[in-house]
């Protein structure tokens, strides 16, 4: 598994999403209250960008007029026809055994752990020999 740095964290503030491309694969990253999730950015129904979908939860009802929102922030609703997918598992809410989108590991890492350092410059030996300047590589 190879890590890919895709953006700065402040490009995806809480409540936002961002579409990125890694080796030609579109991936939707969501920031739900500081928790990041990454899923394939193509709805298996007709190909809509899930990155443009609304993050939501599940409405449950015990009876007429008695409903509540559960699992808030755990699902994304496709912007075209409303299919919903779990942001952690990628499974479809209505048909979890047959329909899913791929999920990806996503982490936040400090910049200093991503770059090798300390940086050095190339240093070459230089000598003067009988009026000629010679650089050794």
Length of the chain: 137
Stretches 17-25, 55-63, 74-82, 88-96: which one binds ligand FES (CB under 6 A)? 74-82
Q: Is 104 in the site for ligand FES (CB under 6 A)?
A: no
Binding residues for ligand FES restricted to 38-67, rule: CB under 6 A: 43, 45-48
Contact 20, 57 (CB under 8 A): no
Nearest approach, Cβ of residue 49 and ligand FES (Å)? 9
List b or e across 67-81, with b for residues whose CB sees 16 or more CB atoms inside 10 angstroms. eeeeeebbbbbbeee
Total interface residues for ligand FES by CB under 6 A: 9
Stretches 25-33, 75-83, 96-104, 115-123: which one binds ligand FES (CB under 6 A)? 75-83
Of 31, 37, 83, 101, the one binding ligand FES (CB under 6 A) is 83
Extended strands (E) in 1-137: 17-22, 25-32, 35-40, 54-63, 66-77, 84-86, 103-104, 126-129, 132-135
d(CA 126, CA 137): 10
Q: Is 80 in the site for ligand FES (CB under 6 A)?
A: yes
Chain positions contacting ligand FES, by CB under 6 A: 43, 45-48, 78, 80-81, 83
């Amino acid at each position: 598994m190879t890590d890919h740095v895709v953006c700065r964290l402040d490009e995806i503030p809480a409540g936002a999403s961002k579409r990125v491309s890694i080796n030609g694969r579109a991936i939707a990253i969501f920031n739900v209250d500081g928790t990041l999730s990454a899923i394939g950015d193509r709805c298996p129904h007709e190909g809509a960008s899930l990155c443009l979908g609304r993050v939501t939860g599940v409405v449950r009802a015990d009876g007429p007029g008695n409903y509540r929102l559960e699992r808030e922030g755990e699902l994304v609703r496709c912007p075209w026809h409303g299919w919903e997918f779990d942001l952690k598992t990628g499974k479809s809410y209505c048909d979890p055994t047959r329909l899913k989108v791929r999920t990806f590991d996503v982490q936040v890492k400090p910049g200093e752990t991503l770059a090798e350092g300390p940086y050095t410059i190339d240093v070459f030996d230089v000598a003067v020999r009988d009026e000629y300047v010679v650089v050794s590589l």
